[in-house]
Amino acid sequence: MTWHAITASLIGQNPTSPLNTLRQAVTERIADDNNICVRDRVLGALEQLGLLSANKPTLHHTPIDTLAAHLAKTLTFSADERDLVVLNHDIEASYPHPNPRRELHRVSLVAYGEPNGYSAMARTVGYTCAIVAHMVLEGKVQEKGLLRPVAKEVYEPMLKRLEEFGIKAVEEVKRID
């Protein structure tokens, strides 16, 4: 079975349909007629990833497992590549009396993957999860369930610890009134 046949089957098309027919069916599924740019970009990405090709994938237990294995192989960094995580949060705050003002609070973070090491995504997500898990195990986080990271007793030590791993957010506050 080819990627062409798998993709066609997943969207209810004949697995032996011609490529143009499959491209048209995919196009109808991914974006409305008003946004040709999005349609073309998504279709181009599917083709670049080989998901409409006559290549035969190594089949796994489920279609998602087959796709995951294919993407892991296809999207692997070459020796001279690394990823980049860029976060920028702009939060506008309005303060009432006695000193009325508006401020823009900007928090920015840039992290690069390590050559021959962890990716920036693995570092920023993985270290954060590990730090908070460690805090839970040490009893420093007592609440149960899914928690938003808005409590200072959670986020301040977490951010401090992330700095030890070279991940540091830069904060800036500017008046905007």
80-125 pLDDT per residue, tens = 889 999 999 999 999 998 889 999 999 999 999 988 889 999 999 9
Q: Is the pLDDT of residue 14 over 80?
A: yes
Q: Nearest-5° angle of CA 125, CA 130, CA 135?
A: 130
Contacts of 92 (CB under 8 A, 6+ apart): 102, 103, 104, 105, 176
Strands (E), the chain: 84-95, 101-112, 170-175
Q: Please tell me the predicted confidence (pLDDT) of residue 150.
A: 83
Distance (Å, whole) CA 38 – CA 30: 8
pLDDT at 33 > cutoff 80:
no
